[in-house]
Amino acid sequence: MKGELEYVMSIGDKLGDYVNCWIAVVDDKIIAEGNSAKEVFIKAKHQYPDKIPFVMKVPSDPVMVM
């Protein structure tokens, strides 16, 4: 899971297309997007049934992580 979070943090500037959407990340790749966490989780598990996807909502405001 740490790898997926690091991946998302590294592509922060490329998340503009996903603002206010939920995304799922598996193996350093965005594999699903949608309007709810449940929808995105189901899509991700359908594509990668043996993996646990990292699911998050992309915020509209810039976020600073320290």
Domains of the chain: which residue ranges? Answer: 2-57
- Eight-class DSSP state of 66: -
Kindly state the average pLDDT of the residues 40-46: 98
Kindly state the average pLDDT of the residues 39-58: 96
Kindly state the average pLDDT of the residues 13-32: 91
Answer whether residue 13 shows pLDDT above 90.
no
What's the whole-model pTM score? Answer: 0.82
Q: HEC string of 6-65?
A: HHHHHCHHHHHHHCCCEEEECCCCEEEEECCHHHHHHHHHHHCCCCCCEEEECCCCCCCC
Least confident range of 3-7, 28-32, 36-40, 51-55: 3-7
